[in-house]
Amino acid sequence: MTVAGGFIVHPGGISYAGPNRQDILDQINVFETQGKPGEMGHAIQELGAESTGVIRYEHEGLDRLAGLAPIPLHRLGFGCGCARSRCFSEYE
């Protein structure tokens, strides 16, 4: 189970980098495989893959947060996230 990690997503939903190497090799589309409300692909679509902001989603049974920022010259979105419990463990 991955607790934290970064990812790069194309505005069309294709994963270019992420913690699961096989997903990248298979060129999964996160909007299709994780597109239900509450999942990462849906959260990215709501914000916009080329937008700056924070998304909240569930993955592998963990509530997660990720910050997103655009990579303008390549029309990609970069995200870095972690389990919400890790982000706020000192405050809860």
Question: Is 92 a member of any domain?
Answer: no
Q: What is the mean pLDDT of the chain?
A: 86
Question: Is 59 a member of any domain?
Answer: yes
Q: In the chain, how many domains are there?
A: 1
The domain containing residue 40 runs over which residues? 4-87
When pLDDT is cut at 50, 70 and 90, the band that residue 90 belongs to is low
Question: Is 40 a member of any domain?
Answer: yes
Which of 77, 86, 38, 45 is CA-nearest to residue 59? 38
pLDDT(14) > 80? yes
Q: What proportions of the chain, in percent to the nearest 5, are helix, strand and coil?
A: 25, 40, 35
Higher-pLDDT residue of 84, 54: 54
- Whether pTM exceeds 0.85: no
Question: Is 36 a member of any domain?
Answer: yes
Question: Is 55 a member of any domain?
Answer: yes
Which of 43, 50, 40 is CA-nearest to residue 75? 50
CATH number of the domain to which 54 belongs: 3.30.450.20
Question: Is 30 a member of any domain?
Answer: yes
For 45-77, the pLDDT digits (tens) are: 999 888 999 999 988 888 889 999 999 888 889
